[in-house]
Structure 1
């Protein structure tokens, strides 16, 4: 199953992220290496949100990531939530439908 971790970013996110970016990226790459995190990045124009795509049997990995994320802990993320995403098309779709 896929899960989307959605971040609502603080207004000063771009000004403050450099201080926490290395730790955030280390956490993200570690999750990717474990096979939990498939894709992640900020939404541009304007940079006011970010999406992180997780896979697993439950939303636990995405939720744990958010709680441990230096961006969340430092207040660069105003709010976050995880939602299941029923993917049906593509090589990595969790429930392929043709």
Structure 2
């Protein structure tokens, strides 16, 4: 199954503002992980101002639909996002393994 990167850019003060929304935000991602659609997710960078989520889905529209209901998005904590196809070639979960 293909992989996609969902990249969130968060507000600068995400750490201070996320509290009331964090449990629901994480619960929704864990539901996707338990269903096999999210492979990994977490904050990136020194300040954690970016979220990177690895999805394994056939149709990236599922990711866009998910984003519209994410509490971080509806609360204005996500300033922008993008969904990027990721051609995985190495590792047990690679969608298109290539071995020399």
Report the TM range for the smaller structure's normalisation. over 0.9
| TM-score w.r.t. length of structure 2 | 0.93
| TM-score w.r.t. length of structure 1 | 0.95
- Unpaired segments ≥5 residues, structure 2: none
Secondary structure at the counterpart of residue 66 of structure 2: helix
Q: How many residues end up aligned between the 2 structures?
A: 98
The aligned residue for residue 78 of structure 1 is 79
Residues 2-13 of structure 1: pairs in structure 2 closer than 5 A:
2-13=3-14
The aligned residue for residue 58 of structure 1 is 59
Q: CA deviation at 1:63?
A: 1.3
Cα contact 1:66–1:72 (8 A) shared by 2: yes
TM-align CA RMSD: 0.9
After superposing on structure 2, the runs of 4+ consecutive aligned residues of structure 1 that deviate more than 4 Å are none
- Residue 21 (str. 1) matches residue 25 (str. 2): no
Per-residue CA distance 1:52-96 (angstroms, 9 max, x = gap): 000011212221221111001101110011010000000000000
